Amino acid sequence: MFAVYAARPEADDPLAALTVGERPDPDVPAGSLAVTVRAASLNMHDLWTLRGVGIKPEQFPMILGCDGAGVLPDGSEVVLHSVVTSPGWMGDETLDPKRSLLTERLQGTFADTVVVPERNVLPKPESLSFAEAACMGTAWLTAYRMLFVKSGLRPGQTMLVQGASGGVSTALVLLGRAAGMRVWVTGRSAQKRELACSLGAHAVFESGARLPGRVDGVFETVGKATWDH
């Protein structure tokens, strides 16, 4: 089948490992489903895979793509949940110490077909296109959980999102605005701050800039560069 994959780990020149070509049709073990992929989305994680981070050398070649949406053999339209648990795990997938994302142990979604455990296949809401559904996985679920499960923020409160253009931070801006938060964003360039505005940020600031007031919650996905802010 057609696939886009990392042929080998390339720590210093990750795109040198990016290969567009053919991979064998996958087997479908009991308890798994084959999904014909209609849309897949790119995640920063794919670049880490090309670099060989978070994946053992013997697992290459690895088809890229943590997230996707597609069609089951019976024609039903589905979206994938990309956190794969160890066999028999019950409850919250993210608490399983042996969990993995697609592309870490199982092959990813940048292919004609992806094979995943049955519990990772969910009905695609009719209101979402395949492309939209394919973006709802890793980054958006992370943002959703930060905002609606962990933060405790209520509509009308002010949230600061560090980073204007990141996968998680753009999802935070869109979700926060839709939920009625006042959304403030820091970004490193005017172009990136404009992007945040176009997504619904109420105000944007240069990274590290003094803010006009206190915020109710800080959404930090950058790391050390913004910890002092």
Ligand X SMILES: NC(=O)c1ccc[n+]([C@@H]2O[C@H](COP(=O)([O-])OP(=O)(O)OC[C@H]3O[C@@H](n4cnc5c(N)ncnc54)[C@H](OP(=O)(O)O)[C@@H]3O)[C@@H](O)[C@H]2O)c1
Given the rule CB under 6 A, which residues bind ligand X?
43-44, 138-139, 142, 163-169, 187-188, 192, 207, 221-222, 225-226
CB 54, CB 48: distance < 8 Å: yes
Compute the least distance from the CB of residue 139 to ligand X, in Å: 3
Nearer to ligand X, 157 or 226 (CB): 226
Q: How far apart are CA 215 and CA 132, in angstroms?
A: 30
How far CA 123 is from CA of 11, 22, 120, 177, 216, in Å, comes to 37, 28, 10, 26, 35
Compute the least distance from the CB of residue 150 to ligand X, in Å: 13
Q: Is 176 helix (H, G, I), strand (E, B) or coil?
A: helix
Q: Is 204 helix (H, G, I), strand (E, B) or coil?
A: strand
Compute the least distance from the CB of residue 31 to ligand X, in Å: 26
Nearer to ligand X, 23 or 160 (CB): 160
Nearer to ligand X, 36 or 207 (CB): 207
Compute the least distance from the CB of residue 64 to ligand X, in Å: 14
Nearest to 61 by CA among 3, 113, 114: 3
Nearer to ligand X, 107 or 138 (CB): 138
